[in-house]
Amino acid sequence: MVGSARLDWLDVEHRPSAGRAAQPIYLDHAATTPLDPEVRAALLPWLGELFGNPSSAHGHGRRARAAVDDARDRVAAAAGCASREVILTSGGTEADNLALRGVLERWGAERGRHLVVSAIEHEAVLATAQRLAEAGRADLTVVDCDRQGRIDPAAVASAVRPDTVLVSVMLANNEVGTVQDVPAIAAAVRARNPRSLVHTDAVQALGRLPLGLGALGVDLLSLSAHKAYGPQGVGALVAGHAVFPAAQITGGGQERERRSGTENVAGVVGFGAAAELARRRQETDAAELSHLAGWLTDLLMESVPGRWRSLSSWACSRCRLRSSSLAIAPAAWSARTCAWSRSTSVEGRSGLAPGSGGRSGEEGAGSPWRWRLPPRWPTADRAAGDRSPSGPLPTWR
Ligand SMILES: Cc1ncc(COP(=O)(O)O)c(C=O)c1O
């Protein structure tokens, strides 16, 4: 089956044709997305003829301020929040840092300094929480996930204490794609301690899932433009108006004293355009991606029956692609932190010798070019209508 003609589309797509160089297939959109042409067109003037400091009172400044405000409105519309709740940052990492550090600094003395995070958070949350704990500034509880990579709301709630100031559980995972039931997690946290704040890292969800502080039941939400066809180096922390995280970058008092620094006007304008696109295309993109994911999984399941395959030794040779030009998100890192990965990535645990079959993979050491099929996503489920690894798209709004 590996030699199946069903893989020929990859060959055909990428064979250099008369006068045209081969185009790599880019499948690493969880790492970053290409800039959408509409986004590029929106931001380019701000790298050329348009300029100005949004804090300046003269015409150039006012024009830059208007552009930033307009972009902020678009981000707010996509994130389901008020414009004044959007704190523009240098990206998702800074947004996550501001959520954890800013909440701890603002509310720690009053509400406690206990943090709860899930084990499958992006390092921007996990490493920050660990750093705060190591520095003695916070107590930390890390909640593990189950075999499907899901975080149990009851497990999160049972980790919450009277002194829990913040719970952070991501909406969509950047490695295995699992979507958490954030509304249920937030409700369980509040039932246990109504004073605890809830943050979700929604960086991978913009343009893919419905967002909103109210709809998700959270107080804070992180976004990043470059995961949704916007530019790199710009993002936002959405913070409910009563949260007011303490600024971690101090200076001129921009962003209503919550994040200082002259705004990255071109980047912010691009973010606004990307957010607008995300809002407009979300439903059609989700349906199309879900369809493509099902189709690709079928293809792989039929072509590579019961085997984990290293792309470098299989797909790249089969498809005549240089491995450096084919980007597949390496899933190996999740093995460090996730119970699902630990239990499914070591074949010995399920009694299988490495490579002897089944859908479990080898431990993620070595080559990052390792293909991982979605867990528990058999063809039968999809035939029954479940088209995504974590079930049908949630509809919490
Ligand atoms: C879930 C998640 N959170 C945060 C980040 C960090 O975002 P940024 O690259 O904008 O700093 C990423 C980026 O990989 C991510 O996937």
Q: Which tens digit of pLDDT belongs to each residue from 241-272?
A: 999 999 999 999 999 999 999 999 999 999 99
Domain contains 210: yes
Of the ranges 8-12, 124-128, 173-177, which is most confident? 124-128
The candidate with the shortest Cα–Cα distance to 153, out of 104, 191, 189, is: 189
Q: Domain check: are 267 and 295 in the same one?
A: no
Q: Domain check: are 24 and 136 in the same one?
A: no
Q: 277, 304, 339 — which closes off a domain?
A: 277
Domain contains 322: yes
- 370 CB within 6 A, ligand 1: no
> In the predicted model, is pLDDT for residue 292 greater than 80?
yes
State the closest ligand 1 atom to the C-alpha of 121, by its place in the atom list counted from 1.
1
**Res 299: pLDDT:** 83
Q: 243, 277, 311 — which closes off a domain?
A: 277
Q: Percentage of the chain surpassing pLDDT 70?
A: 71
> In the predicted model, is pLDDT for residue 4 greater than 90?
no
Q: Domain check: are 367 and 305 in the same one?
A: yes
Q: Domain check: are 104 and 238 in the same one?
A: yes
Q: Domain check: are 226 and 93 in the same one?
A: yes
Higher pLDDT, 208 or 5: 208
Domain contains 394: no
Q: Domain check: are 19 and 161 in the same one?
A: no
> In the predicted model, is pLDDT for residue 122 greater than 80?
yes
- 201 CB within 6 A, ligand 1: yes
Average pLDDT of span 293-318? 62
CA of 91 to the centre of ligand 1 (A): 7
**Res 22: pLDDT:** 66
Average pLDDT of span 336-352? 31
* Band (21; pLDDT cuts 50, 70, 90): low
State the closest ligand 1 atom to the C-alpha of 93, by its place in the atom list counted from 1.
11
Q: Domain check: are 157 and 217 in the same one?
A: yes
Show the tokens assigned to 89: 């940052």
> In the predicted model, is pLDDT for residue 124 greater than 80?
yes
Least confident of 38-42, 67-71, 368-372: 368-372
**Res 266: pLDDT:** 98
Q: Which tens digit of pLDDT belongs to each residue from 221-240?
A: 999 999 999 999 999 999 99
Average pLDDT of span 197-226? 97
> In the predicted model, is pLDDT for residue 159 greater than 60?
yes
In the chain, the number of structural domains is 2
- 235 CB within 6 A, ligand 1: yes
> In the predicted model, is pLDDT for residue 396 greater than 50?
no
Pocket test for ligand 1, best of 97, 120, 204 (most atoms within 8 A of CB): 204
Q: Domain check: are 260 and 345 in the same one?
A: no
Higher pLDDT, 391 or 215: 215
Q: Domain check: are 221 and 314 in the same one?
A: no
* Band (307; pLDDT cuts 50, 70, 90): low
Residues of the domain holding 70: 39-277
Q: 258, 277, 296 — which closes off a domain?
A: 277
Average pLDDT of span 103-111? 98
State the closest ligand 1 atom to the C-alpha of 124, by its place in the atom list counted from 1.
4
* Band (17; pLDDT cuts 50, 70, 90): low
CA of 304 to the centre of ligand 1 (A): 31
Domain contains 199: yes
Task: Indicate which CATH number applies to the domain containing 171.
Answer: 3.40.640.10
- 121 CB within 6 A, ligand 1: no
Indicate which residue's Cα is closest to atom 8 of ligand 1.
92
Average pLDDT of span 322-338? 35
**Res 47: pLDDT:** 98
Show the tokens assigned to 302: 């039929």
Of the ranges 174-178, 256-260, 308-312, 354-358, which is most confident? 256-260
State the closest ligand 1 atom to the C-alpha of 172, by its place in the atom list counted from 1.
1
pTM above 0.85, yes or no: no
Pocket test for ligand 1, best of 32, 75, 93 (most atoms within 8 A of CB): 93
State the closest ligand 1 atom to the C-alpha of 233, by its place in the atom list counted from 1.
10
Least confident of 135-144, 199-208, 304-313: 304-313
- Mean pLDDT, the chain, integer: 79
Q: Domain check: are 302 and 163 in the same one?
A: no
Domain contains 165: yes
CA of 122 to the centre of ligand 1 (A): 7
CA of 89 to the centre of ligand 1 (A): 12
**Res 381: pLDDT:** 38
**Res 296: pLDDT:** 84
**Res 301: pLDDT:** 79
**Res 170: pLDDT:** 98
CA of 123 to the centre of ligand 1 (A): 8
CA of 16 to the centre of ligand 1 (A): 34
Q: Domain check: are 16 and 48 in the same one?
A: no
**Res 9: pLDDT:** 38
- 175 CB within 6 A, ligand 1: no
Domain contains 389: no
* Band (80; pLDDT cuts 50, 70, 90): very high
Q: Would you tell me how many other CB atoms lie within 10 Å of the CB of residue 36?
A: 18
